[in-house]
Amino acid sequence: MAVIDFMEAFGREVEQTLPLSAPNPYFSMTAHLVRKHLEGKIVTPSSLVAASGVPYATAMRKLSEMTEAGMIEQRPRTKSGKTVSLHASAQLLESWGQLSDRVLRLASAHLGAASEAEHDYYFGGSYLAAHSINPPAVLPEPLDLPGGVRVLVHGDPTFMVMDTLKRQFEQMIGTSISQRAFSIDRLHEEVLRNATHKSSRYDIVAVDLPWIGEFVSKGVLLPLDEVMDIERLDPSDFHTAGWRATHWAGRPYGVPSQTTPELFFYRKDLFAQAGLEPPATTDDVLRVAEHFHDPAHGRYGIAWNAARGTALGHTFLMTCADFGHPVLNLAPIAGGFDADHLDRDDLLAQFDSPAAEAAAEYLLHLMSYSPPDILSMSWYERVRPYASGRVPMAYGYTLLAPYFELDPGSPAHDATGYLPHPAGPGGAPVAPVGGYMLGIPANLPPERRAAAAEALIAFTSPAAQKLYVLNGSRTAPRYSVGADPEVQRISTIFSAVDAMSWRDELQFWPRPPVPQICNLFEICGQEIHDMLRGVTTPRAALQAVQKRAEAALRPRPS
């Protein structure tokens, strides 16, 4: 609230110093409204009158004038409508942002220094220098959802930021929010379990992008075009791959909440000191990993997902993509392979192939330069040694970047470069799209669907996405958010991901979202883990994967 604090303090100084000065109730009430909006606190007519600094009758007259001018919106707090809460309108928030922006420029121009508000990302300052995406505005009418909005999410940093901001979003939508968070495997189970109930226990559920084929085929998700005008979402603003990944058979079933590709993290400072170029190929990765590998001093070359099961299964499918190889018979198209048309019965597994074997051999080579506990490292464990400085390189999702970007004590803080996956022979740089979409359960009662759709739009709007970023998230599924000047100043990760999207490196075909995808993850995660442990050879492991994958893909008798 640095700008608000400054302007209020300046006003008090003027009033106390100049004997003929008078309170400005318009400014005082505006500042109070904006402050409480950003804090997520309720403003009543009596509290706004008290903040005006003028007599009651005068304040009520000014309040009425501000309401008529469209600066203040009223929202009923009771069924009778006799009690209301007051909210800054979108028009007022826009005007305040412009005013604050000019205050910063004047302070810099006339006082010779930038305002401290530029470092206060959330409480007002963040929206001032950017002046592109304004704070989220309250909905004209509170959502009619008895019991509030019930949301099921993944327990990752971005969704935890959403939980931290719950008060602000409750103010925005006019009702309470209850959020449950699970690990990835438990989330998958809970969404399927919820689908067996007569009525959904959740209004909105988070869905890992590769699950969409399974969930649609099992009737878990509601097509969004049944409950909203899709154009209200501004589809062209989303990263192309992230938006396409929310569709099945040409219909949208969710809205990207996180577009979090798996990237290649590397320590720019260590590479510069060693005179090394960032790796562009898998051979480069192995060479650099060998250079930095020093187990005697507790330092290792690289960290990655190698834990048995789901984690390693994801890794193997994406590594095959690094070698230009889809694990199913997808048709080649510009930028990669066609994963938009998977609702068909002629899909074939392609694991027993030279390219897949080369990918498996690459993972075996990585083992030589990895920490000793690599075979138990999964989603978060692989980033911890990178954040602590034990490894100079790691494969990791952008949503994991807060572990070092928000920790000034981390050696990787302000020293990380972001690349797409280095390519293997026959491949091209690719950033496999991960993350989550928010969807509406198919068994949600009809009377709750319209309000759930409104909440979905609010939670995934550019203003909401920017708010997540300003509070620690490192995922931005919209181009407008990644291009926001304030967002770009926070981290280079946003411009890096946007650039990958424009270069068509952001792709979701590496993990084709077929209904059987979770089975394929588990199969690969088991057989490749045995290979990494030395129990079997790459060739034998891939033959086992092929056999089990063919059985998993085989249509079941109806």
Identify the residue whose tokens are 């300052």.
125
Q: Which domain holds residue 29?
A: 2-130
Q: Helices in 196-253 by DSSP H: which ranges?
A: 212-217, 240-244
Encoded tokens for 392:
């100079």
449, with CB counted inside 10 A (0-12, 13-18, 19+), is middle
What is the residue type of 460?
T
What confidence score (pLDDT) does residue 35 get?
77
Residue 160 contacts residue 131 (beta carbons within 8 Å): no
Q: Does residue 502 belong to any structural domain of this protein?
A: no
Count, residues in the chain: 558
> Cα 497 to the chain's mean position, in Å?
12
Q: Does residue 511 belong to any structural domain of this protein?
A: no
What confidence score (pLDDT) does residue 88 get?
82
Give me the residues of the chain with pLDDT under 70, please: 1-3, 13-16, 19-21, 38-40, 78-81, 98, 100-102, 104-131, 556-558
The vertex-297 CA angle with 296 and 303, nearest 5°, equals 95
Same domain, 426 and 447: no
**DSSP string of 188-235?**
HHHHHHHHTSSS-S-SEEEEEGGGHHHHHHTT-B--GGGTS-GGGG-G
What is the residue type of 73?
E
| Spatial distance between the Cα atoms of 57 and 239, rounded to a whole number of angstroms | 52
Residue 351 contacts residue 542 (beta carbons within 8 Å): yes
User: Domain with 215 in it: what CATH number?
Assistant: 3.40.190.10
What confidence score (pLDDT) does residue 557 get?
59
How many domains would you assign to the chain?
A: 3
What confidence score (pLDDT) does residue 334 get?
83
SS3 429: coil
What confidence score (pLDDT) does residue 454 get?
96
Cβ-based neighbours of 529, under 8 Å, separated by 6 or more: 306, 307, 308, 309, 312, 375
Q: Does residue 141 belong to any structural domain of this protein?
A: no
**DSSP string of 16-82?**
HHSTT----HHHHHHHHHHHHHHHT--B-HHHHHHHH-S-HHHHHHHHHHHHHTTSEEEEESSTTS-
**DSSP string of 510-547?**
TS---TTHHHHHHHHHHHHHHHHTTSS-HHHHHHHHHH
Q: Does residue 106 belong to any structural domain of this protein?
A: yes
Q: Does residue 100 belong to any structural domain of this protein?
A: yes
> Cα 543 to the chain's mean position, in Å?
37
Q: Does residue 279 belong to any structural domain of this protein?
A: yes
What confidence score (pLDDT) does residue 37 get?
74
Choosing from 80, 101, 130, the residue where a domain stops is 130
Same domain, 338 and 293: yes
What confidence score (pLDDT) does residue 326 get?
97
Same domain, 383 and 276: yes
Same domain, 72 and 186: no
Which residues are registered as beta bridge partners of 299? 294
